[in-house]
Amino acid sequence: MTKTVKCPQCGKAVKWVPESKYRPFCSDRCKLIDFGGWAKEEHTIPGDPAFDDLMSQELDDMPTRH
């Protein structure tokens, strides 16, 4: 039996097989719409703001390459 998942963008059923080129998306269009949402910061992953601040400070303190 082939597993089926819903496209995260439009909800269309997608077979979870290697031949499903854009899985978990149903198409290149849905994949690009989702990518655009991440690029415009419409999607976020919850995290610990204190940890984010610490990581940001560590990156700021790193020497730069010339």
pLDDT tens per residue, range 8-47: 999 999 999 999 999 999 999 999 999 999 999 898 888 7
pLDDT score of 45: 82
Per-residue burial over 20-36, b if 16 or more Cβ lie within 10 Å, else e, is eeeeebbeeebbeebee
Report field, pTM of the whole predicted structure over 0.85? no
pLDDT bin (cut points 50, 70, 90) of residue 6 is very high
For the segment 49-60, the average pLDDT, to the nearest whole number, is: 66
Every domain of the chain and the residues it spans? 4-61
10 is in an annotated binding site: yes
pLDDT tens per residue, range 40-54: 989 888 876 666 666
CATH 2.30.30.40 for domain 4-61: no
User: How far apart, in whole angstroms, are the C-alpha atoms of residue 6 and residue 3?
Assistant: 10
41 is in an annotated binding site: no
